[in-house]
Structure 1
Amino acid sequence: MSATHPATSLPRSLFLFDSQKLLFSLSSFIAAAITLGISFEASLPRPWWALLTVYVTAQPMAGAFRPKILYRLGGILTGATVSILVVPNLQHAPELLVIVMAAWTGFCIYLAVLDRTPRAFLFQMAAFSSAVISFPYLDDPADVFTTTISRVEEMTVAIVSVSLIHGLLQPWSVTPVIHARAQAFLADAARWTRDALGRRHTPLEYEHRRKLAADVAELGMMAIHLPFDQRPASASQKMVLALQKQLATILPLASAAANRLDTLSALAPLEPALKQLVDDIRAWLARPEQMTYASGHLLAVRCRHLAEERNVPPTWSDLLIASLCIRSAEFIEAHVEGRRLAQQMGSVPVQSDERRGKRRREEFPLARDHGLALLAGLATGTAIILYCTVWILLAWPSGSATAAFAALITCSFATQDDPAPVLGRYLGATLITFPLAAFYLFAVLPRVDGALMMIVTLAPALLTIGYIQASPSLSARALPMFSCLIVALGFLDRFIADFATFINVGMAQVGGIIATIAVAKLFRSVNVRWTARRMLRSHWTEISQMAAPASRFRAAHWTGMAVDRLGQVAARMAVAEGDDALHAADGLADLRLGRNVIAIRRALPTLVTPAQAALHDVLDGVATLFQLRGRQGVLLPAPVSLLARIDRAIAAICADSLLLPTHPALLALVGMRCNLFPAALPARVSRDA
């Protein structure tokens, strides 16, 4: 009997359909049918381009879908304008025309990679819309104006149709997605902190924490879509950004508490009151239903009370306990506030100020890398020049189509470090779709009469691929399947089934993809470790600049950028080799140290002159260390001289009998010492030492 279970479970997994994915596919198909109907009725010259635009612009979530539509329309108009201005004026200098169009495309990709918001779709669409409009008419640019107008009309009809249909049939909101992501983050953060406080560190600890950082950064991207939600939202953009800031502080606070606990446990057994407090915090984290404001407030009060009971002047153990208790209290408060904001998203809809435009819209800062963006732009421009050079030298009649396809594909995957693997899957999906396209073109469509019957016969293929597009794990394969099927059929104002044309167009598509893969391997196969090192070097350089007392800093802005950069590193470290030296660079330790630098700079005016001078020495040492790390790109160990400076600063502050062990500057120095010198002997900090 047991042998029958696998056989009976297989059909259920095969025929288990998701209703939302089916609705998405049906919405896209209805939009495609309307687009084709309008295109045939208006006698647009390339209805296939309008049909392909429907599936290129369709997105499974309406909240994220609508702003991208607006940006894409703007990008189409921008690309069309550039084509009209450039092509006729340079028609007698094709080499210069190719260089200008390649430079324009590369510049747009540079802006798209640098932006990292939905606004990037404007630059991306401007890049490949100008490419697909211009390249097929480089040999004969006389009709470029008419052609450009036709392409704009076709794409606009498609974008408007898909926007209206998806908005009517699947007006899903981004708010539930944000709510679910925030709840999942809080649960993961609580679980990780509970394990860390129990000193049960796992081999994947760094990866888990970096994944949390990536989730925090993603919330800010989702918040951009809230003003475009069709349904009344129970979360405003301001509320989501406030939640994001709370979640961003949870990471360094929780890891700091775990770090202090590890250091204390290595020195001596925990005192009973502290051990009981840690156990109560772990029990509180294990029961989400008890994470209320009241219970969290009581735990935070206990933490602060235990920290204030330390001796004055304190010992090194007193400072460690004070640091552990204060960071635990701050973590608990941030966690409770985060849960409150997340739960508030499911309450009564709010009227956000962003809709009225009365306040300046806040944004969670994003870490942008001009070097990486410039590399992507240069690679795109160089690739286009190579495509066009091969096309012109070979005098291939379909070379213009190859260049257009290659430019479109290159622009679509320009944001990836190494697009070659994705392009390989793109090529595979294209090849397996050719038999289906041939079946439709030579066996089905010759027997079809009228646009309505053609739409009906295309329904099985379009609905199936549309369902694949709605599946996150398979969506990358849907675009090449749509592209191969639609372009190979070549919908015109009248039906033409020519085998030679079919093969030529197919070779143009495959040739464009292969050329793109070749160029990607030559110019874009950037090692993920190289990219991660570059981001870490930027992070170290910013800490060095922030440690300079004369420089300006914004604590929340820097923390947001550091968390965002940590999330970007996480995506790359997931595919880096396990023994890579980058795994030794704990981004959260650097994040904690940066926050310690901020705390010291804030506390400087509250201290006496000798303590200020000692803290300035510490900041100078930190600035020098991270400046060297940023220049060399290596996790250099902190020098012993910096340890001596930190100890002198701790002793100078402890010499003031009016200052408690919970003073922010003292806690920051303790955290800095634990982060930079985890194996150092205990500091001698009392006045008797």
Structure 2
Amino acid sequence: MGILSIAPQHVRFAIKLATAIVLALFVGFHFQLETPRWAVLTAAIVAAGPAFAAGGEPWSGAIRYRGMLRIVGTFIGCIAALVIIISMIRAPVVMLMVCCIWAGFCTWISSLVKVENSYAWGLAGYTALIIVITIQTAPLSTPQFAVERCSEIVIGIFCAIVADLLFSPRSIKREIDRELDSLLVAQFQLMQLCINHGDSEALDKAWGALVRRTTALEGMRTNLKIESSRWARANRRLKALNTVSLTMITQACETWLIQNSRPEAIAPEYRELFAEPVETAADVHKRLKFMRRVMAWTGEHDTPVTIYSWIGAATRYLLLKRGVITNAKISAVEEEVLSGEVVVRPVSAERHHAMINFWRTTVSCLLGALFWLWTGWTSGSGAMVMIAVVTALAMRLPNPRMVALDFVYGMLAALPLGAFYFLVLIPATQQSMLLLCISLALLGFFIGVEVQKRRLGSMGALAGTINIIVLDNPMTFHFSQFLDSALGQLVGCMLAMMVILVIRDNSQAQTGRTLLNQFVSAAVSSLTTNKARRRENHLPALYQQLFLLLNKFPGDVAKFRLALNLIIAHQRLREVPIPLNADLSAFHRQLRNTADRVIAARSVDKRRQTFKQLLDELDIYQEKLRVWEAPLQVTEPVKRLTTMLHKYQHALTDR
């Protein structure tokens, strides 16, 4: 962490982190807080966490949002701790065990909710544990301690937000505007590739990149939403643009797919529409104007349905993009586009993964409690807290083992670093608030640089160092207490890592199969004549699940293609004119129930049996469509879906 290694783009956030720490320290001592350490630690974690996740200075609003999550999680944890203490104060051991189960429960919930909100639930778990442990090690008034803890945390969060505002936080709006133009060009180029029926590997690479970029744009929208209320109109448009972009990807890939069985489906004159290369969004705009004139002349029925749908989606994209860039008042045409469909939220496919996370956190906390009670070690309580912190924060991330390793490295680095502050700097500067602030500002500055580089151990070193140096009021210096605290942190992190390594996460295969069966269920559920159900937009949820599949199985092209084909089937069946009659409507309900039972089946034999029933029912459904004289645009996608499910039934049912 030398000065020569500091890049200019890392300096501003490093100063911001140092300012947040100094502000929290100054306010804590100025208002005579009993433990200013909590305010300083909160300010450091709230400011540094988003920077570590982003790999650089976080966008405007990220620190504020994380701070609000920390407040919510702390209040939930404090309320839970009070309920547990009031109910079980006469049985301290049982109270501690229940608190360990509460920490596991919060980790379970955090594994099922949206990633950006999981931090609050993880925090709620170990906050309750901290309060319960503290009242067992020191005879404090529990409500008073909970109030003090909340107050110190709110002060730390306030200091982090003030530091963020002082140094002009980066707005993500300009990045969104640039990405909207670039994404439109990439969409047109994907359609060119699909129209020309290009190489399948090039197609996989192109659509995979577009799915990731569309998902990243949705993440940018979340940042813009929390940045300022003045972007409310742009946020509504970006939410609709997510669906429009995914629709364009789906229509392009379907254009490629239908040419596998019917090369003549796309006439040469339509290939010529996409023959000219494009470099900018303005080029795409010109081509779309020309295409709309051609369609007005040829008519909707003479234009291939995928091309017609793609051009319509691209037109909506241009309309909404212009509104996002200008942030102007929403017009009547835009309002019609924005309120046209009801977006359905995805159902989590990681329930087995969440249960493993529950057991990891619960078992590690129980082991820590038994270790503390058995040894009677004074810092066993600190080890327990670190166990809860590591498991709660690591479980939701893609690689919990690396997060635990980060904490272990960080605590190893915090031991000499904290000793230097405890033995040399703080005793020499405790009589001068200015010198104390300067010494901690230097710590925050240099670790702030390393956090932005995602240096392994940097976050752990920051939290661990602040936690073990004496920042209480009044400050006392007992080396044995410092050493116990430092070793307690390290032992807790090692125990948590050991549990993570021993209780293996074997949920990947089950999660992948559940995701694929959810795609099947979505495709089957689109077979309906109910107008309200047909207006439901499952596309964002399906692509969110596809993105999870990409992360769980990187490089497994077969799974991606199967998932994409099922999404295409869903989108096509959602738009076909299914004949309106009671016989088909009743059979639609039967198909949906069978598809849901496939997802719910726990054993392989039950899943195979139910899936076989679904295939038989689809065969019967095709016969019913023939009897009721359904048009080709209905029978063809149903036949394509049935053939696909017959072909991949083992991949969808086996372990």
TM-score interval (norm. to shorter): 0.7 to 0.9
For 2:529 and 2:442, locate their aligned partners in 1 and report how far apart those are by CA, in whole Å.
66
Are the aligned partners of 2:234 and 2:323 in contact in 1 as well (CA < 8 Å)? Answer: no
Amino acid at match of 1:596: R
Shift of 1:399: 0.8
For 2:343 and 2:262, locate their aligned partners in 1 and report how far apart those are by CA, in whole Å.
39
**2:467 aligned residue:** 487
Are the aligned partners of 2:194 and 2:256 in contact in 1 as well (CA < 8 Å)? Answer: yes
Write out per-residue CA displacement over residues 72-106 of structure 1, whole angstroms, 9 at most, x where no aligned residue.
22322222233233225423312321232123323
**1:450 aligned residue:** 432
**1:337 aligned residue:** 316
**2:252 aligned residue:** 254
114, 121, 124: which one aligns with 1:123: 121
Are the aligned partners of 1:91 and 1:97 in contact in 2 as well (CA < 8 Å)? Answer: yes
1:390 to 2:371 alignment: yes
Shift of 1:12: 13
Are the aligned partners of 1:173 and 1:231 in contact in 2 as well (CA < 8 Å)? Answer: no
For 1:623 and 1:85, locate their aligned partners in 2 and report how far apart those are by CA, in whole Å.
41
Q: Tell me the secondary structure at the aligned position of residue 535 of structure 1.
A: helix
**1:104 aligned residue:** 102
1:558 to 2:543 alignment: no
For 2:204 and 2:147, locate their aligned partners in 1 and report how far apart those are by CA, in whole Å.
53
Q: Tell me the secondary structure at the aligned position of residue 170 of structure 1.
A: coil
Are the aligned partners of 1:173 and 1:230 in contact in 2 as well (CA < 8 Å)? Answer: no
**1:298 aligned residue:** 290
Are the aligned partners of 1:52 and 1:483 in contact in 2 as well (CA < 8 Å)? Answer: yes
Write out per-residue CA displacement over residues 578-628 of structure 1, whole angstroms, 9 at most, x where no aligned residue.
4x696366211111112233234x5423xxx7xx97898799779867865
Unaligned runs of 5+ residues in structure 2 are 51-57, 332-338, 647-655
34, 40, 43: which one aligns with 1:51: 40
Shift of 1:238: 1.6
Amino acid at match of 1:508: G
CA, structure 1 residues 350+23, in 2 after alignment: closer, same or farther (shift >3 Å)?
Answer: farther
Write out per-residue CA displacement over residues 536-581 of structure 1, whole angstroms, 9 at most, x where no aligned residue.
233333444554778973544322221221122122122xxx4x69
**1:604 aligned residue:** 579
Are the aligned partners of 1:113 and 1:415 in contact in 2 as well (CA < 8 Å)? Answer: yes
Amino acid at match of 1:588: L
For 1:547 and 1:432, locate their aligned partners in 2 and report how far apart those are by CA, in whole Å.
59
Are the aligned partners of 2:23 and 2:159 in contact in 1 as well (CA < 8 Å)? Answer: yes
CA, structure 1 residues 309+225, in 2 after alignment: closer, same or farther (shift >3 Å)?
Answer: closer
RMSD, aligned CA: 4.1
For 1:96 and 1:466, locate their aligned partners in 2 and report how far apart those are by CA, in whole Å.
41
**1:91 aligned residue:** 89
Amino acid at match of 1:53: T
Are the aligned partners of 1:417 and 1:526 in contact in 2 as well (CA < 8 Å)? Answer: no
CA, structure 1 residues 544+614, in 2 after alignment: closer, same or farther (shift >3 Å)?
Answer: closer
Amino acid at match of 1:61: W
Q: Tell me the secondary structure at the aligned position of residue 530 of structure 1.
A: helix
Q: Tell me the secondary structure at the aligned position of residue 87 of structure 1.
A: helix
Are the aligned partners of 2:549 and 2:560 in contact in 1 as well (CA < 8 Å)? Answer: no
CA, structure 1 residues 64+427, in 2 after alignment: closer, same or farther (shift >3 Å)?
Answer: same
Amino acid at match of 2:562: D
**1:439 aligned residue:** 420
TM-score by length of 2: 0.82
CA, structure 1 residues 599+329, in 2 after alignment: closer, same or farther (shift >3 Å)?
Answer: closer
Amino acid at match of 1:34: L
CA, structure 1 residues 68+598, in 2 after alignment: closer, same or farther (shift >3 Å)?
Answer: same
Q: Tell me the secondary structure at the aligned position of residue 114 of structure 1.
A: coil
582, 585, 592: which one aligns with 2:568: 592
Query: Map of 1:11-410 to 2, 5 A cutoff?
Result: 14=5, 16-18=7-9, 21-58=10-47, 59=50, 60-116=58-114, 118-140=116-138, 142-203=140-201, 205-206=203-204, 209-230=207-228, 232-233=230-231, 235-265=233-263, 270=264, 274-283=267-276, 288-292=281-285, 295-300=287-292, 302=294, 325-348=304-327, 365-369=345-349, 371=351, 372-410=353-391
For 1:416 and 1:75, locate their aligned partners in 2 and report how far apart those are by CA, in whole Å.
18
Unaligned runs of 5+ residues in structure 1 are 1-10, 311-321, 353-358, 655-664, 681-689
**1:319 aligned residue:** none
Amino acid at match of 1:289: A
667, 679, 686: which one aligns with 2:633: 667
Amino acid at match of 2:390: I
CA, structure 1 residues 215+309, in 2 after alignment: closer, same or farther (shift >3 Å)?
Answer: closer
Give percent identity, aligned residues only. Answer: 15
**1:463 aligned residue:** 445
CA, structure 1 residues 524+91, in 2 after alignment: closer, same or farther (shift >3 Å)?
Answer: farther
Count how many residue pairs are aligned between Structure 1 and Structure 2: 622
For 2:291 and 2:627, locate their aligned partners in 1 and report how far apart those are by CA, in whole Å.
30
